[in-house]
Amino acid sequence: MLLAPRYLAKLTLLGVLLMPLSVIAGSFVIQDIRVEGLQRISAGTVFNYMPVTVGQKVEDQQTGDVIRALYKTGFFKDVRLEREGDILVITVRERPAVADISFSGNELLETEQLLEALKDIGLAKGRVFNRSILDKIEQELRRQYFSQGKYGARLTSTVTPLERNRVGIAIEISEGRAATIKNINIVGNTSFDEDDLLDAFKLTTGGWFSFYTKDNQYSRQKLSGDLEALRSYYLNKGYINFKIDSTQVSITPDKKDIYITINITEGDVFTISDILLAGDLVAPKEEMFELIHLTRGHVFSRKKVVASSERLNELLGNYGYAFANVNSIPEIDAEKKQVAITYFVDPGKRVYVRRINLRGNTRTRDRVLRREMRQMESAWFSAEKVSRSRDRLERLSFFENVTVETPAVAGSTDQVDINITVEEKPAGNIMAGVGYSQSQGVTFNTSISQNNFLGTGKQVTLGFNSSSANTLYQLAYTNPYYTMDGISRGFNLKYRQTEFDELDSADYSTDVLIAGVNFGVPISDFDRLLFTFDIESTDFNIANNASTQITDFKTTHGTSLLDYKAGVSWVFDSRNSIMFPTRGRSQRMGAEIALPGSDLEYYKINYRLQQFFPLSKVFTLGMKGNVGYGDGYSGTETLPFYENFFAGGFRSMRGIAENTLGPRDSNDDALGGNFNLTGGAEILFKAPFKLAEKSLRLSLFADFGNVFDMDDGAEGFEASELRYSTGVAAVWASPMGLLTFSLAQPYNTKSGDEIENFQFNFGSSF
């Protein structure tokens, strides 16, 4: 009679367990242990795992313990015990070792990530091969692909025996096409349209850009995020009892289309009945209530409740309570459909800063960094001051990265250290290069500059710049901390020769020599006053066919002028970066006057603004504006034409040739004007690939502007004369210099406007 398979398996297992007893009969004292069949594993390893040793008496029942202990190591696929006199003989067959693991067909999951994951599980090159582990790995990989919506993924593992008891493992993956979402249906919504609710979802049924965003490819993680977004949508509208009853995800038999159904219960709308503060109120109560942006009688909003808690935490952090905890506790009145919010404040202990540790500044001296710190040692910890200190360090432009950590001091409950790690940029720049711009043609640059001279933070520049329009020689020195209070002092010696006809402007040239000194006085962490005094010698040459305006000026004032200029400016800068800011504001209001006793007496007033608003981790809204006015006084009736404002080009009005907007002279060349108005807005975003996200910034922009002549008898400002343009732009901080380009379409252009849809500039210039 044949035995059923399950009984046969049981008898086989019983035979294996009883086998040692039939081989080793009776107890004996082990005089020696001999291991046979080893290839890679040492005998010492086997002895370490054995529950018996030489000199120990072995009973019959202990032989099973020995076999189980050796099997448990995972090194062996067969273990047998025999006795030769008083010698215990162990015969083993080793499991093969993994010689190589290879993957093919995997695109979603990188090979390096897969190998690292296998290593964590226990399957790696050089380790013992265990088929059961490989089976678990296959199941986990399938689960990973299923979670990414690739339900058609197939895995085939091939184990190839090799010499010296080794195996090669090849895992072939056919990822297949990700299942796409055909329909998302929300059941139970009566207060809001389904389309409005789905707008909060990242998953969609597809659109024009789904091939790139992949927002129509199902993912369990994305669906979980969307369900949380749906819950937040209702909670922010006052539906405190909102519930997601169930979620059904169904897939078509061909595993290509996904249908999602979400069943919800909306509940009722709740309003806020009261707002209370409780706990240890270490900050002024009035100041705390100002940060709670809730109103009695208004609809409850979880978003506003949480944001208010975060603001209260930040306030307490500024008072030195770095580990404060503010919890919002709702008290719900179901009958009245009202909720009272109590903010319970647990400030913890006031925290002090023990030390500020600086790391990574191998060239820059410690005092250069410490003088920018607004958080002091032995003072209360202030999150605001720490953040402001980091911003000031980043604005120095000496460092690629600035990282701030605030670990608690071991063994103390009221102290933290501030660890600042910087990654330095090259401190000096010796440049000899060639650039090109559409306005100036080929430019030759040679400069030796040190923004951080010998690690002191002082700025030294010696440079030469040449193009078809400009020749510039410059020697400049600035000490940003001339005094301990942060008063700066600088000197400047500059010679500039400009051919304005090469800049699409009027037909004349100037030779200007400037010698000056400047001082900067800090008013606050963000505000600064700048004072300048320059002696300026100007010689200008006019062509034989110069315009009437230029020849008249020569007749009245001559061609050699000496002016004494004084200027004062107010500068505000709260940007978090100079090169690629994402938040903050920069504004400058200044006035410059040619003092009495100069050959010409005139003044210029200018205001420039830049504002940045973070929209997300990727997108930033940037806005800019610039307005300027100048005129003569005393014996000088008008602003000298070579001091006029110009517009057009990268810095003001993209899409229009540089310096070509505004009034024109009798030869129809751009002459500039004494009133300037330009501005614009941009949506700035990082490069879509990681390698360039710190050096490349893209933008969508809209510019407007023009220059006008406001003198008596002139047409003056007319809004209808403003030019507009929209387009795309990019700025790349390349190793060879700054590369900028834009593609713009101008609007409201007039006859004679010089349009340049594509503009670019390569290389740096002084």
User: Do 396 and 250 have their domain in common?
Assistant: no
Judge whether residue 120 has pLDDT over 80: no
Q: What percent of the chain has pLDDT over 90?
A: 37
Q: Tell me the β-bridge partners of 628.
A: 606, 676
pLDDT of residue 503: 52
Q: What percent of the chain has pLDDT over 70?
A: 89
pLDDT of residue 3: 42
Taking phi first (over 0 means left), then psi (-120 to 50 degrees means alpha), and beta for anything else, what does residue 425 get? Answer: beta
CATH number at residue 603: 2.40.160.50
Select from 381, 405, 424 the last residue of a domain.
424
Judge whether residue 299 has pLDDT over 90: yes
pLDDT of residue 736: 60
User: Do 140 and 198 have their domain in common?
Assistant: no
On average, the pLDDT of the chain sits at 84
User: Do 685 and 612 have their domain in common?
Assistant: yes
Please give the structure tokens belonging to residue 212.
């790139």
pTM for this model (two decimals): 0.60
User: Do 142 and 188 have their domain in common?
Assistant: no
pLDDT of residue 105: 82
User: Do 444 and 408 have their domain in common?
Assistant: no
Judge whether residue 9 has pLDDT over 70: no
Higher-pLDDT residue of 628 and 75 is 628
Select from 174, 196, 226 the last residue of a domain.
174
User: How far, in Å, CA of 670 to CA of 657, rounded?
Assistant: 11
At 694, is the pLDDT very low, low, confident or very high (cuts 50, 70, 90)? confident
User: How far, in Å, CA of 664 to CA of 687, rounded?
Assistant: 40
In sign, the C-alpha dihedral spanning 61, 62, 66, 71 is positive
User: Do 109 and 75 have their domain in common?
Assistant: no
User: Do 647 and 674 have their domain in common?
Assistant: yes
> What is the DSSP-derived secondary structure letter of residue 322?
T
At 466, is the pLDDT very low, low, confident or very high (cuts 50, 70, 90)? low
Select from 265, 286, 310 the last residue of a domain.
265
CATH number at residue 144: 3.10.20.310
pLDDT of residue 127: 78
- Identify which of 446, 536, 428, 534 has the alpha carbon closest to the alpha carbon of residue 490: 534
What pLDDT digit, counting tens, does each position of 598-623 carry?
Answer: 999 999 999 999 999 999 888 999 99
User: Do 154 and 184 have their domain in common?
Assistant: no
User: Do 468 and 596 have their domain in common?
Assistant: yes
- The whole domain housing 21 covers 5-94
User: How far, in Å, CA of 745 to CA of 753, rounded?
Assistant: 13
Weakest mean pLDDT among 75-79, 502-506, 590-594: 502-506
Q: Which range is most confident: 193-207, 232-246, 631-645, 683-697?
A: 232-246
What pLDDT digit, counting tens, does each position of 240-296 carry?
Answer: 999 999 999 888 888 788 899 999 999 999 999 999 999 999 889 999 999 999 999
User: How far, in Å, CA of 390 to CA of 735, rounded?
Assistant: 25
User: Do 135 and 108 have their domain in common?
Assistant: yes
pLDDT of residue 77: 81
Burial grade of 587 (CB within 10 A; 0-12, 13-18, 19 or more):
middle
Question: E strands along 543-601, which residues?
Answer: 560-573, 584-594
User: Do 470 and 551 have their domain in common?
Assistant: yes
- Number of domains the chain contains: 6
Type and span of the H or E element at 538:
strand 527-542
At 467, is the pLDDT very low, low, confident or very high (cuts 50, 70, 90)? low
User: How far, in Å, CA of 364 to CA of 398, rounded?
Assistant: 8
Q: What is the dihedral of CA 310, 312, 315, 317, to 10 degrees?
A: -60
User: Do 138 and 211 have their domain in common?
Assistant: no
Q: How far is CA 536 from the centre of its chain?
A: 44
Judge whether residue 333 has pLDDT over 90: yes
Higher-pLDDT residue of 491 and 94 is 491
